[in-house]
Chain A
């Protein structure tokens, strides 16, 4: 219990000590100013309570203090006092605001001294007497960047004016797709009331605005403040590109205000004036030919290319996110999207590329572009995402350079799911019968020669021989067709004789006679009456006696064939001989 009391007392005394800690600090809104400017001194006191106690300002011979504000903030019992003094400079030169004292509960606290430099105002600088003694433009520091050098040079040239606008580019002869800076600075050595700014118009250039900046610069002994707007320009196509004039429309007091006027808020606003920057002409160069296939339009120096895949161990069918990031100077937004190489065993779904700009710790501007793709392995195994190439035109060496990523190893395990886990295609193959189609790849190599040619192929080679033989056969057929009938005619008697030798009936004898008449004399006995046959036999040169004998025989044979009861058997046996005799007579007579 006693221990707890001690702890409580200790804590209370520490809290009291902490509350009693008083801090005082002072700062000014600027360390350099002209006689036309005013200076705000802020004194901050923390750790006090009770009534407001004013700090004690030191002697300030170089300033007139004409305004004072007090602000009190109390948070959780801690009070902070802010004392703001507005002061007007009186003399040119270096001066110091000495330590500011603050006495609280018998103890005195003080601030650090503050150094201030006061310059003459622009009116003084441009007075006729001053103009005569104006110093020439000093030699600019050679180590200055070209852009800064150009801006400063222009500023020195215009330093006789209290308000002016200058513009410069970091490169006047860029390549296509090369990015460079356009800086526009509005210098002023006097206060102004309003100054709307109008950015320049450009042709054959892409323009992106950067955040504005402010600064001060001593030009010919006059302290100028400036507001600067920078743009990132990218050349679109070879040829001429132009940057028009930027403008600032400003209003100022018509005459320098006296300290009295300022104290009572006096003002005399002049009519609106315009400060214009000079237009700039740029000649854009074409990139040299011979760009590699992995060139997507990047122009600059110092690019980096990194690829990463997450996760690197998955199951078949699960997605692996691959991101390739290219980073470097210039504007990568205008470059084309990288093409991911096809990979066996993977389905690749490229996603939209994203790009942006940023500032490096050293203050340099850079841009980046992320190319993303989802890879879906279709089967298990150990795979490697091959090196991905990205080429750019290096401005330092004026040549194409190729970056490539480090190959990434992926371990794909067999899937433990019955259904495909990941499929963008929307056409998931059927898993019926326990078979799931994964991919459709080409069939493997043939490891041996093709079988020897078959007979048909060999035959097809014998073109000449085939056609020659065909011709021979055709000629043969032709001869056969043309010579067949004379041959038949020639052979008609022999054929009929053979038939008669083998004839054992009147039917056969009639057939033999009919064949002879048909082949030899072209008389079709079957379709002609007897009278007609007689006529035709006469016409073919057969004598009437032979014709008579033939007709007798023919009628006899017909009688035997169609009315066998009326014919005696012995005469029928002699018929072949009779027929042969008549045919012999006909053969002789036709000859």
Chain B
């Protein structure tokens, strides 16, 4: 048993040491301008930390420096979903989207409102909704048993319903199948095949919403332009 414990401790130390080295080495490559080498290391780190927003952020940085603004935007988006309060992630995502003519904050919406709406990540909002639900249930129970708690229970119930509305809105956004144009140009065709004529070219970095899937084609709608059509799967990156 002791031997197993020792071995486990050693393995843990080894793994943490390797990942620490990976971060440092990737940063060194990045600073030397070897962005593709840094990207490879960060993609390895992603296998160990699939929910780390900073890994996605760093991958986005590597792609941005390599000129792939579409792939950069996709990775920043993933990081933003995990850590929306991080100012660096918001800044880089805004820049990457702007290079493709897109906006993070919809036109006409105050930035403060957008920041407020995305103050919590979806997971945090879900956790808060659960906690709120527990609290409200407890208050309702108390209100039923003791009359004087019933008014508090009503107020909290209303607040929780608002929270639930926020949660629902975020859940809708979270489930929206968004993608970014990753190749230099994505040709939008009227059908899923090259035998259909191309109606528009969409440049790298544009956001699209996936509507349907057929073989190696996606039916998409370009969010900012409202153009609908089919694009090859290889030209876009799902977020």
A481 at the interface (CB under 8 A from B): yes
**Contact (A443, B126) CB under 8 Å given A344-B65, A456-B131, A477-B140:** no
Is there an interface contact between B67 and A341, defined as CB atoms closer than 8 Å?
A: yes
By Cβ-Cβ distance, the 10 closest A-B pairs, closest first, are: A456-B127, A459-B127, A446-B54, A460-B127, A460-B126, A443-B88, A473-B137, A456-B124, A442-B92, A460-B123
Interface string of B200-224 (1 = CB under 8 A from A): 0000000000000000000000000
Is there an interface contact between A481 and B144, defined as CB atoms closer than 8 Å?
A: yes
Is there an interface contact between A480 and B49, defined as CB atoms closer than 8 Å?
A: no
Q: List 14 A-B contacts (CB under 8 A).
A: A342-B67, A443-B88, A443-B92, A444-B61, A444-B88, A446-B54, A450-B53, A456-B127, A457-B124, A459-B128, A459-B130, A459-B131, A470-B137, A473-B141
The winner among B120, B125, B127, B134 for most chain A CB atoms within 10 A is B127
Is there an interface contact between B133 and A484, defined as CB atoms closer than 8 Å?
A: no
Nearest residue in A to B83 (C-beta to C-beta)? A450
Is there an interface contact between B67 and A466, defined as CB atoms closer than 8 Å?
A: no
Q: How far is B202's CA from A370's CA once the two chains are assembled, in angstroms? A: 29
Which listed residue (B23, B91, B133) contacts A448, Cβ 8 A?
A: B23
Residues B44-83 near A (CB distance < 8 A):
49, 52-55, 57-58, 61, 64-65, 67, 82-83
Q: How far is B27's CA from A481's CA once the two chains are assembled, in angstroms? A: 62
Chain A residues closer than 8 Å to B126, beta-carbon distance: 456, 459-460
Is there an interface contact between B65 and A457, defined as CB atoms closer than 8 Å?
A: no
Which listed residue (B30, B49, B83, B123) contacts A456, Cβ 8 A?
A: B123
* Interface set of B (CB-CB < 8 Å, partner A): 19, 23, 26-27, 30, 49, 52-55, 57-58, 61, 64-65, 67, 82-83, 88, 91-92, 95-96, 120-121, 123-128, 130-131, 133-134, 137-138, 140-141, 144-145
A440 at the interface (CB under 8 A from B): yes
Chain B residues closer than 8 Å to A440, beta-carbon distance: 95
Chain A residues closer than 8 Å to B123, beta-carbon distance: 453, 456-457, 460-461
Chain A residues closer than 8 Å to B120, beta-carbon distance: 456
Q: How far is B145's CA from A476's CA once the two chains are assembled, in angstroms? A: 12
Q: Is the interface of B mostly helix, strand, loop or mixed?
A: helix
Which listed residue (A443, A456, A466) contacts B91, Cβ 8 A?
A: A443
A447 at the interface (CB under 8 A from B): yes
Is there an interface contact between B61 and A445, defined as CB atoms closer than 8 Å?
A: yes
Which listed residue (A442, A454, A458, A470) contacts B64, Cβ 8 A?
A: A442
**Contact (A477, B137) CB under 8 Å given A456-B127, A456-B128:** yes
Which listed residue (A443, A445, A460, A477) contacts B144, Cβ 8 A?
A: A477
A213 at the interface (CB under 8 A from B): no
Is there an interface contact between A476 and B141, defined as CB atoms closer than 8 Å?
A: yes
A565 at the interface (CB under 8 A from B): no
Q: How far is B144's CA from A476's CA once the two chains are assembled, in angstroms? A: 11
Is there an interface contact between B30 and A442, defined as CB atoms closer than 8 Å?
A: no
Nearest residue in A to B64 (C-beta to C-beta)? A442
Q: How far is B122's CA from A461's CA once the two chains are assembled, in angstroms? A: 11
A458: min CB distance to chain B, Å? 7
Nearest residue in A to B129 (C-beta to C-beta)? A460
Nearest residue in B to A467 (C-beta to C-beta)? B130
Is there an interface contact between A480 and B145, defined as CB atoms closer than 8 Å?
A: yes
Q: How far is B153's CA from A481's CA once the two chains are assembled, in angstroms? A: 15
Q: How far is B134's CA from A466's CA once the two chains are assembled, in angstroms? A: 9
Chain B residues closer than 8 Å to A144, beta-carbon distance: none
A455 at the interface (CB under 8 A from B): yes
A462 at the interface (CB under 8 A from B): yes
Chain A residues closer than 8 Å to B65, beta-carbon distance: 344, 442
A469 at the interface (CB under 8 A from B): yes
A4 at the interface (CB under 8 A from B): no
Is there an interface contact between A446 and B67, defined as CB atoms closer than 8 Å?
A: no
Is there an interface contact between A480 and B141, defined as CB atoms closer than 8 Å?
A: yes
A169: min CB distance to chain B, Å? 34
**Contact (A457, B140) CB under 8 Å given A443-B88, A450-B83, A469-B134:** no
Is there an interface contact between B130 and A462, defined as CB atoms closer than 8 Å?
A: yes
Chain B residues closer than 8 Å to A458, beta-carbon distance: 127
**Contact (A449, B49) CB under 8 Å given A442-B61, A456-B123:** yes
Nearest residue in B to A386 (C-beta to C-beta)? B33
Q: How far is B49's CA from A455's CA once the two chains are assembled, in angstroms? A: 19
Nearest residue in B to A456 (C-beta to C-beta)? B127
Chain B residues closer than 8 Å to A480, beta-carbon distance: 141, 144-145
Is there an interface contact between A450 and B54, defined as CB atoms closer than 8 Å?
A: yes
Is there an interface contact between A484 and B144, defined as CB atoms closer than 8 Å?
A: yes
